[in-house]
Amino acid sequence: MTENLLVGLTAIVVFGIGAQWLGWRLRFPSILILLLFGFLAGPVLGLIDPDSLLGEVLFPVVSLSVALILFEGGLTLRHDELPHIRGVLLRLISIGAVITWVVATLAARLILNLSWSVSILLGAILIVTGPTVIGPLLRQIKPQGQAGAVVKWEGILIDPVGAVLAVLVFEAMQAGDLSAAPGTILLGVLETAVIGLVTGLVAATLMIGLLRRYLIPDHLQNGVALMFIVVAFALSNLLHHESGLLTVTVMGLVVANQRLITIRHIVEFKENLQILLVGTLFILLAARMKPGSILALGWESVLFVAVLILIARPLSVLISTAGSSFSWKERLFVMWMAPRGIVAASVASVFSFGLIDAGVEGAEELASITFLVIVGTVTFYGLTAGPVARRLGLAERNPQGVVIAGAHPLARAIARVLCDQGITARLLDTNWDNVRAGRREGLEVCHGSAYSEEVLERLDLTGIGRMLAMTPNDEVNSLAALQFPEVFSRAEVYQLPPRRSNGGSSDLFPAPQHLTGRILFGPDFNYRFLDEQLQRGAEIRAIPLTADFTYQDLLAEYNGRIIPLFIVGARKKLTIITTDNQVTPQPGQTVISMVLLEGALRDADTARRLQAVRADGA
């Protein structure tokens, strides 16, 4: 028995994390792989049986996990996004939610032939989308502008709204008087709003106060934050059922937008925890699936899912965005993002048990239909949302552009050649002389600091996938390299090597590896050396290679006086030369290099620095 439990728990972790890694590796929606792995581990292979594995603890565990995910989602909500999307967002979670509820209710009654009471409850459950499904999709698609922001906010805020609405409808059904539901729902929503807001604000304020006064040691801060979330969620739910979802969302929102304490370590901890929880929840969800009950629903259930996708969502978005500044492309993308997730599944499962015990007709189909909607919407949006966003010009599959911290002559020379090769390059600098010089040269230059959160939030990152920290200040480069992993992965954050006290560079970087970006070009090519060569007349050139003119021929032609910086391959794929990625350019690629002047190798220090380049090409 113990061995079976161990195998089941191990399988959940392995499948949950493995599916997300595989999705990242294949650039495929990880949610779909999670559902597939969960189905294989559950009904097919029999490795996981969530009900026997966790028993009565299953749904409390799911609820706590969703609470932690919603808190992490709240940490991503920035108040400075609201001015542009406030009106649309409020209409989506109010008018749009009602439209979805009405259409889903009518479709359940007319297509699935459920009773009115079960149809109304199902419609309320299917209002929710949620960060468990929206978050992973947005992380992969990376849409730009208002569309991505409003979908993110809606996905987090709609969970408490939908869950509370479903609870209130369920309570009205148990009371046997649906005619009194409107008044009950209105009162319940007000109670939930008051309890959720007050409890969330108080819990967040207490936690911030303790952290601000250094009453919690560093090694306990993540644990104490977790404790506050769990306690606030449980207390709020005791005061009013399902109000805890709103409480933890408010907590995350307050903590994220205060300026009294730093929360980077808390954010990193919750992001890591969220990855584990999302994987676990979707494996458990899919493993509970009973194929027979899904197949028994018939073709009508497929039509029901189609109505939600093709009628309910577009109608709610059209009405919610009417008169707004959203372009038709942004409206279309918002229409294309409404997958259902864990909250819908857990609420439907709990309510179906209660309704079955009460003898309500059609109650046994509630969980099966909800699961089919989850599978159908996640599959549809997971496969199509990315291509649609790219087709609309709101995202790129693998953006090759770079943002360069620094707009000095060296950075401008590199940016010009990259742009000539079709690679987007945007510059950041605090020096107005550099900013004006770059703009005069036709480059995109933003005034601001590369490690400023404010600049990071207003910087246009359309088409950008990497950051190069190339300022003359090594400390600024390191700070920028710490800031940008919030936007790109650590694998796409680079910086110039630092200077040693004797003016050279160090093979051993003086700062710990986790505090730096990947080292650009080579350990000896720091800013001072590259800038000096540029001032002496060196040039940044893009040189195409062919079968008749190889990289070795290139080195021979210039007598080894080149420093390879980038490689541009087929379809404008950019490879950045780094100390850990010293690739050899191949025919058909274009090498972007710094070409030094004749006689540069006569200088012993320069010759030493270029020795490794000549050796690689030998």
Does the pLDDT at position 287 exceed 50? Answer: yes
CATH architecture of the domain with range 401-617: 3-Layer(aba) Sandwich (3.40)
Say whether 581 sits in a helix, a strand or coil. Answer: strand
With a pLDDT cut of 90, the percent of the chain lying above it is: 14
Q: Round to whole Å and give the CA distance between 329 and 112.
A: 33
Q: What percent of the chain has pLDDT over 70?
A: 89
pLDDT band at 585 (very low <50, low <70, confident <90, very high): confident
- Work out the pLDDT band at 230, boundaries 50, 70, 90: very high
Confidence of residue 453 (pLDDT cuts 50, 70, 90): low
Spatial CB neighbours of 128, under 8 Å, sequence gap ≥ 6:
158, 159, 161, 162, 163, 340, 341, 343, 344, 347
Structure tokens given for 103 = 């259409």
56-101 confidence digits (pLDDT tens): 787 788 888 888 888 887 777 777 777 788 889 899 988 999 999 9
Which alpha helices (DSSP H) does 392-440 contain, by range?
A: 409-420, 432-440
What's the pLDDT score for residue 509?
Answer: 46
Identify the band that residue 513 occupies on the pLDDT scale cut at 50, 70 and 90.
low
Tokens of 462: 């359309």
pLDDT at 353 over 70: no
Give the architecture (CATH level 2) of 2-74+93-190+277-391: Up-down Bundle (1.20)
pLDDT at 103 over 90: yes
Burial class (CB in 10 A: 0-12, 13-18, 19+), 183: exposed
Residue 202 confidence (pLDDT): 93
CA dist 246 and 98 (Å) reads 19
pLDDT at 558: 82
* Cα 587 to Cα 219: distance, rounded to the nearest angstrom: 52
**152, 122 contact by CB (below 8 A):** no
If you search the block for the tokens 């161990």, which residue do you land on? 6
Q: Is 504 a residue whose pLDDT tops 50?
A: no
CA-based angle 178:182:183, to the nearest 5? 110
397: three-class secondary structure by DSSP: coil
- pLDDT, residue 206, reads 94
Q: Please compute the mean of the pLDDT values over residues 200-204 and round it to a whole number.
A: 92
Lowest mean pLDDT, pick from 224-228, 265-269, 486-490, 506-510: 506-510
**Average pLDDT of the residues in 316-330:** 90
Q: How many other CB atoms are found less than 10 A from the CB of residue 495?
A: 27
Whether residue 345 has pLDDT greater than 80: no
Mark 431-466 as b/e (b = at least 16 C-beta within 10 Å).
Answer: eeebbebbeeeebbbbbbbbbbeebbeebebbbbbb
**Does residue 183 have a pLDDT over 80?**
no
Indicate whether 466 pLDDT > 90.
no
Do the Cβ atoms of 578 and 494 come closer than 8 Å?
Answer: yes
Domain boundaries, the chain: 2-74+93-190+277-391, 401-617
CA angle 410, 575, 556 (to 5 degrees): 75
